[in-house]
Amino acid sequence: MLAEAKRNLKTLLPEWTELFELPINIHKLLTQQVSLTNPVLPQQMFLGEAAFTSMTDLEELLVHEMSHIWSSMIAEIYDFQLKGSSENYILPSGTGGKNPRGVLLACLFAISAVNYHQRLLASGSVRARPERLGFLHQYFLKSLATLQASTELSEIGKLITSRLEVFSSEPTTDTAQG
């Protein structure tokens, strides 16, 4: 199922093909969590049983976690936040104790998942979920608003946030911007 999901994503998001070729180790998660990645464990992804509920769920989770992995690789070189940034930010999910980097990672996963769902919908797939697209778009907008209010972003964090603002009015289905 995992190989099929990756093939589907490469077809739907061809500009991501090379990113999917990065060496990522995928492990079985032995807890009730659906999926996770952690910057302390670079290029490692953990998927729980619930990740395999449907092909659409698995594809979205791969996009979600790969987005975290790719973004964290960049943050290793150019941190998205100022040194000593506070950890009092709250994600739209209600998860607190986040720093600006964590909010930016959430924003990047959300717009990546929005792009995935937009492409799935535009393809006419019976697996398309417009309600999930709407939920993720709202999550993205709320994360973006938190970033826009922050004074603790580094220059690269500000640059990425300003680029994300392009997507705030309407998510793209344009493969050149996706």
pTM for this entry: 0.91
Q: How confident is the model at residue 176 (pLDDT cuts 50, 70, 90)?
A: very low
Q: At residue 79, does pLDDT exceed 60?
A: yes
Rounded average pLDDT over 145-172? 90
Cα–Cα distance measured from residue 62 to residue 20, given in angstroms and rounded to the nearest whole number: 10
* CA angle, 133 then 140 then 119, to 5°: 35
Rounded average pLDDT over 113-138? 96
Percent of the chain surpassing pLDDT 90: 89
The gap between the terminal CA atoms of the chain, to the nearest Å, is: 25
Cα–Cα distance measured from residue 61 to residue 84, given in angstroms and rounded to the nearest whole number: 31
Q: At residue 177, does pLDDT exceed 90?
A: no
The ranges assigned to domains in the chain are 2-167
Helix (H) / strand (E) containing 119:
helix 100-122
**What is the layout of strands, in order, in the sheet containing 35-36?**
25-28, 44-47, 35-36
With a CB cutoff of 8 Å and minimum separation 6, the contacts of 64 are 35, 109, 112, 113
Cα–Cα distance measured from residue 130 to residue 106, given in angstroms and rounded to the nearest whole number: 20
Query: Over the chain, what is the mean pLDDT?
Result: 93
Q: At residue 34, does pLDDT exceed 80?
A: yes
